Amino acid sequence: MKYTKRCPGAGHRSAVRPSSYLIGLCCGISSLFLTFLPTSYAVEEYQWQVAPSEQNQSSLSIHEAILRAFARNPQIAQAAAQIRVGKANLNVAKSGWFPQVSLQGGVGRSHQTDSSGSLDNNGSVGLNLKQLLYDFGKTGGSIDEQHDLSDAYNYQLYSTLNGVGQQTLQSYLQVKRYQELAQAAQRNLASLESVREMATLRAEAGLSSQSDVLQAETRIAGMKATYQQYQAQVMSSQASLSALTGVVATDYPDLPKDLLGQKISVKSLPYQQNSAVRSSQAKQLAAEKRIQQAKAQHWPTISVQAGRTRYADGDGSYWDDQVQLVVDAPIYQGGATSARVDAAEGERQNAQAEVEASKLDIDQKASTAYADLLGAQQRQQAGEAQQASAEQTRSVYQDEYRLNKRSLNDLLSVEQDVLQADNAAIMARYDAWDAAVRYAGAVDNLLDMLGIERQKVTGDDLPTLGGSS
């Protein structure tokens, strides 16, 4: 339906002569446009980001280390930003059901001819309104797709939190591992010094030669070198943890003891609780909605349009009023619609394969961690038994050395056995903790067991140092 009203004198031909009204309109539009333009098109000088800062504190717990890593890790910030992108895209999809209002204006000669005569104008300005009525699921499918993608982004954030937490905890355990190995070296060094004192007393009493003292000192020098190696590894692991958390500490008081008590099984893994799997499933649902949108392109779009436009020339002006029911039905697009359907189907298959890949990744990581945990626990038991036996043997050998029934080589040999057994027990214990961390990370249960709750889908809200969530 179209209604046109012409003002008197609008049908006369006239020379191209812009009216003062149109000149003022053009100036206003130009000023508004220039207001939003940048002051300079020159490329701004790139500002290099300041290096991440670090702070010193005496102690750092596991809970605090993970929360600080959350605040510092750029992958989490990136995942949180993606959530905001998903929200914006959802609002864009929802806007399809709202009225679309636009202002149009133009300057330049236009000549129209119809049955009643001809019309000339030098410019126009008008207001248009468009309201979507029905599009056979195009807009609704787009909204559903963005809902699913928003869920996928939220689950992706949770998966990133889990990965950063696992990485931080493993780095924390490395610091504790080398600190205990350094302490074991210190204990062995103290025991070797007591052996040297016994050798010195025996040499001064003429019960043995000075070579026993020299041999003990040589072993002590070697143990000091071993201790310094462990100290260097402590510093290296501390530096790695500091890079993750932004904290330089000297005391690390915690151990994740609760992780060793978790229920571990590889026969019934909780895929439905894993954030990576749920993110992939949400992407698969979004791909299915995209297929429906692509198929809906075969059907028409029904909308209502209304507009009011003023045309002007040097002698007069007239209004053009429009109210129309518009049906936009595609007939032939060169196969573009069918190609979009095929592309959406391919994306759905890709998302489905991603779901299966996530499950396979969980299977592999959980099975490996389970086997490593069992092996580490068995090695720890064997190492502790070996350590108890070696310490008992050392006590007996020291007594026999004082009675001249054992040589210094026997005593130094058993000291080496004690150190090896102590190191084996420590390594096995931390291997067991590392395996437990990897299993909890694989089944996406790590942060829950550490008391760090991931909030329900709430945009980019992240755990803070002020609480457990």
Give the tens place of pLDDT for each residue, 291-344: 988 888 888 989 999 988 887 876 677 778 888 888 988 888 888 888 988 998
Q: What is the pLDDT of residues 407-448, one digit of tens each?
A: 888 889 999 999 999 999 999 999 999 999 999 999 988 888
CATH topology of domain 2-31+60-311+356-449: Outer membrane efflux proteins (OEP) (1.20.1600)
Strands 247-248 and 55-56 turn out to be parallel
Helices and strands in the chain, H and E counts: 9, 7
CB 162 within 8 A of CB 275: yes
Contact 69, 160 (CB under 8 A): no
Task: Say which range, 110-124, 257-271, 359-373, 420-434, has the weakest mean pLDDT.
Answer: 110-124
Distances (CA, A) of 243 to 43, 58, 167, 259, 324: 33, 17, 12, 25, 64
Chain-wide mean pLDDT for the chain?
82
Pairing of strands 317-328, 2-5: antiparallel
Is residue 151 predicted with pLDDT exceeding 60?
A: yes
436 neighbors 420 (Cβ within 8 angstroms)? no
Position 25 pLDDT exceeds 50: no
Taking the chain, what is the end-to-end CA distance rounded to the nearest angstrom? 59
Phi, psi dihedrals of residue 247, rounded to the nearest 5°: -125, 130
Buried b / exposed e across 275-298, counting CB within 10 Å, b at 16+?
bbbbbbbbbbbbbbbbbbbbbbbe
Compute CA distances 307 → 1, 26, 28, 100, whole Å. Answer: 12, 20, 21, 11
Q: For the stretch 364-397, what's the b/e string if a residue is b when 16 or more beta carbons lie within 10 angstroms of its beta carbon? A: ebbeebbebbeebbebbeebbebbeebeeebeeb
Q: Kindly list the domain boundaries of the chain, sorted by start residue.
A: 2-31+60-311+356-449
Whole-number pLDDT of residue 429: 94
More confident residue, 157 or 206: 157
Q: Which of 14-28, 39-53, 113-127, 299-313 has the lowest mean pLDDT?
A: 14-28
Span 195-251, pLDDT tens digits: 899 889 888 887 777 888 899 899 999 999 999 999 999 999 999 999 999 998 989
Q: What is the reported pTM? A: 0.78
User: Which pLDDT does position 52 carry in this prediction?
Assistant: 62
Which helix or strand (DSSP H or E) is residue 101 part of?
A: strand 100-114
